[in-house]
Amino acid sequence: DMKVTQMPRYLIKRMGENVLLECGQDMSHETMYWYRQDPGLGLQLIYISYDVDSNSEGDIPKGYRVSRKKREHFSLILDSAKTNQTSVYFCASSLSSWGSYEQYFGPGTRLTVL
C-alpha cells in the first residue's frame, strides 16, 4: 500500500521551543520534500532530499533544517520556533530525481506556534 505518513498530525508549541516533524514513506522513493501551505500562498518548498544525506534548500529554508538518515524517513526541524512558522506542513515523496514523477503527499501536520 503506497503511503506517506506524517507525525504528529497536530502540534501546538510555544515560541522558542524546538519542533520535530516526521515523515515516512513505504515506497522506497528516492526523493522527498517538505512544503508549507498558508492560505492564499499555495505550496512553498522548504527542502528537497534526493536521497540519504543529499538535501537541498527550497524556496524558504530559513529557520528550518532537515535530516534524512534512512531513505524512508525525512525529518523537518525547527530550532526555536517562531510565530510566523504557524502553518500546515506537508511531506511528499516521488520515485526518483532522474526524470519527473508524480508526488505522493502525506496528510499534513498543522503546527501552531504561540
Residues contributing to the site for another protein (CB under 8 A): 31, 40-43, 45, 48, 50, 90, 92, 94, 96-97, 99-108
Smallest gap from Cβ 17 to another protein, in A, equals: 25
Smallest gap from Cβ 91 to another protein, in A, equals: 10
Smallest gap from Cβ 16 to another protein, in A, equals: 29
DSSP state of 54: E
Which CB, 25 or 31, lies closer to another protein? 31
Smallest gap from Cβ 107 to another protein, in A, equals: 5
Cα atoms in the Cβ-side hemisphere of radius 13 Å centred on 82: 5
Q: Are 69 and 52 in contact (CB under 8 A)?
A: yes
Which CB, 72 or 101, lies closer to another protein? 101
Which CB, 32 or 113, lies closer to another protein? 32
Q: What are phi and psi of 84, to 5 degrees?
A: -75, 5
Which CB, 17 or 59, lies closer to another protein? 59
Distance of CA 100 to the CA centre of its chain: 19
